[in-house]
Amino acid sequence: MWNSVFREHQQVSPMCLGFLQWDQHSEEQWGLGWREGAICNKCTYKSSMFNLFKEIVNKSPGRKAADINRGLQVGLTQVSMGNAGLRKLLLSASIPAPSTKGCKKFRTKFVKKSYKKIF
């Protein structure tokens, strides 16, 4: 991500000597996955958004699911902890936790589908 952002910033504003940094106002959390962009502190450069997670490849249209969220839900089936426990654990460590509704939706959609393939 940063290599392409540095290159694009240099092409858009060749004389700018500003520093590139995370654009915290436009970051998006999707479960445990994040989408981030970069901005320049001197000029008006703003990069496009980048997924900081692997996407699950499928043929359905629309936004692709984050692989980290599927792994999390599969892992939760192997321990005696649900999404509510996971949220408490993450929030205790000051890690932004995914929403309960989002976890439930993801669990329903992907874990049940994965179990059907395995068993």
Q: 107 is written with which tokens?
A: 């669990």
Task: Kindly tell me which of 39 and 72 has the beta carbon lying closer to Zn ion.
Answer: 39
In the complex, what is the shortest distance from the CB of residue 25 to Zn ion, in angstroms, rounded to a whole number? 17
> Any idea which residue has 């939706």 for tokens?
105
Distance CA 37, CA 11 (A): 17
Span of 23-31, 38-46, 87-95, 97-105 interacting with Zn ion by CB under 5 A: 38-46
Give 39 or 86: the residue with its C-beta nearer to Zn ion: 39
**Which positions from 4 to 23 touch Zn ion by CB under 5 A, shown as an x/- string?**
---------x--x-x-----
Binding residues among 76-115 for Zn ion as defined by CB under 5 A: none
Reduced DSSP (H G I as helix, E B as strand, rest coil) percent helix, strand, coil of the chain, to 5: 40, 15, 45
Q: Which of 45, 70, 86, 103 binds Zn ion (CB under 5 A)?
A: 45
- For residue 38, how many other CB atoms are within 10 A of its CB? 23
Q: Measured between alpha carbons, how far is 46 from 49 in angstroms, rounded to an integer?
A: 9
Tell me: does residue 40 bind Zn ion (CB under 5 A): yes
Please tell me whether residue 1 binds Zn ion under the rule CB under 5 A: no
CB 33 within 8 A of CB 65: no
Consecutive H or E run containing 29: strand 28-30
Q: Which residues bind Zn ion (CB under 5 A)?
A: 13, 16, 18, 40, 42-43, 45
